Amino acid sequence: MGLFDKIKQAFTGGAKPEETAAEEKYDKGLEKSRKTFGDRLNALFANFRTVDEDFFDDLEETLIGADVGYEMAVKLSDELRDEVKLRNAKSQQEVAQTIVEKLVNIYEAEGADENNEINFAPEGPTVILFVGVNGVGKTTTVGKLAHQYKEEGKKVVLAAADTFRAGAIEQLQVWGERAGVPVVAGKAQSDPAAVVYDAVQKAKRDHDDVLLVDTAGRLQNKVNLMNELEKIKRVIAREIPDAPHEVLLVLDSTTGQNALIQAKQFKETTAVSGIVLTKLDGTAKGGIVLAIRSELKVPVKLVGLGEQINDLQPFDANAFVYGLFKDLIQDTDKTE
C-alpha cells in the first residue's frame, strides 16, 4: 500500500485519524503551504472543462507556481496524461484525486532510497558542518540543535567559524549560553580554519560527542567562500579522518525557488550531504521540499516548524506529506 492509500484509508468514513506528535507539528507548520496548494488546485479547477492539452499546460504552471519545481511539474504532467486515460477520468473530482495521488506517489518513489537520519560517528566526536548564505538561519539552527543534543545527554561543543559577519561570533555565544554548551571562538576577521582546528582539538581532548561548526555565508565572492569551506573540511579531515560526518546546507524555505538555486550552487562546489529547511511554518512555499527531492537528490534532514527552541525537527517524509496534502486527500475521499 502506497503512502497516498495509507493516508486516504485513514480518512475513510470521514473520521479524522489520530495524529502522532510529529504529524501535529507538521500539520501546524505546513498550514500556510497546505492552504496555498489547495487554493491553487481549486483555481485550476474553477475553469475546468475537459482534460486536454490546455489543461495540462495550466497544471504545469500551477505546480511550478506552488514551488514543486519544474522537473517534478513536467514529470507529473506527463505521467498524468497516461493515468487519466488509463482510468478514463473525466470529472473534476476524478482528475483531482488522480493529480494528488500521483504527486504523493512520485514524491514517495523519488525518496525510496533516501536516508533522512543524521550520520553519527561510530566512535569519537561527530562533526557536523553547517553551510549556506547569510540570513537563512544557520546560527539559530546550530543553537537549537545544540540544545536538543544537550537535552539528549550528549556532550556538545560549538565552533564559531563565521568570523567575518559582524556579530556572528557573539550570536553563537549567546546560543551556547542558552543551550549550556561551550563555544570555541577567535577574534573577528580571524582565520575560520584556525578556529575549527582549536574546536576539533577540544572535542578530541574532552571526549565530546558532537562538534557543530557554524560557517560564513559570504566572503568577497563565491570562489573565496567555497575555498574557505574546503580549507575547513581539510583541517577537520586531517584530525578526524572520516569527518565531517555531515555537511548540512541551510536553506530558507520562504525564498522558494531561490533556495533551490542556492542549493544547486552549493552542491556544485561542495559535498552537501543533507538539507536543513528553516522557517517552513512561516511560508506558503512548502512545495520546495518536493523540488529538492526531485531535482537535487539530496535528503532533507532537519526542518524548522516554528520559532521555539524545540521546533527544529528531524525530517519525517510521511508526516510532511500528511501535513501538506491531507486536506486534499480528505476532500477527494469525500467526493467518492
Cell of 69: 519545481
**Reported pTM:** 0.89
Q: How far is CA 324 from CA 50, 153, 220, 288, in A?
A: 27, 33, 39, 11
Predicted local distance difference test score (pLDDT) of residue 221: 63
Chain region(s) in the chain for CATH 1.20.120.140: 3-114+321-334
Please check the confidence at residue 5 and state whether its pLDDT lies above 80. Answer: no
pLDDT per position as a tens digit, 147-179? 999 999 999 999 999 998 889 999 999 999 999
Average pLDDT over residues 1-8: 66
Average pLDDT over residues 214-241: 86
State yes or no: 215 annotated in a binding site.
yes
Q: How far apart are the first and last CA of the chain?
A: 19
CATH class of segment(s) 126-316: alpha beta
The single-letter DSSP state of residue 302 is E
Specify the amino acid at residue 332: T
Specify the amino acid at residue 94: E
State yes or no: 51 annotated in a binding site.
no
Report d(CA 119, CA 117) in Å as an integer. 6
CATH topology of domain 3-114+321-334: Four Helix Bundle (Hemerythrin (Met), subunit A) (1.20.120)
pLDDT per position as a tens digit, 30-55? 888 888 888 888 888 887 788 888 88
State yes or no: 214 annotated in a binding site.
yes
The residues, ordered by sequence, that sit 6+ positions from 283 with a Cβ below 8 Å of its Cβ are 32, 33, 253, 254, 256
pLDDT band at 117 (very low <50, low <70, confident <90, very high): very high
Report d(CA 142, CA 137) in Å as an integer. 9
Q: Could you give the 3-state DSSP secondary structure of residue 196?
A: helix
State yes or no: 153 annotated in a binding site.
no
State yes or no: 78 annotated in a binding site.
no
**C-alpha angle 184/306/154, rounded to 5°?**
40
pLDDT per position as a tens digit, 251-285? 999 888 888 888 888 888 888 999 999 998 888 88
State yes or no: 134 annotated in a binding site.
yes
pLDDT per position as a tens digit, 53-93? 888 888 888 888 888 888 888 888 888 888 777 777 677 77
Chain region(s) in the chain for CATH 3.40.50.300: 126-316
Predicted local distance difference test score (pLDDT) of residue 142: 97
State yes or no: 280 annotated in a binding site.
yes
Contact 192, 225 (CB under 8 A): no
State yes or no: 50 annotated in a binding site.
no
State yes or no: 217 annotated in a binding site.
yes
pLDDT band at 138 (very low <50, low <70, confident <90, very high): very high
Contact 40, 46 (CB under 8 A): no
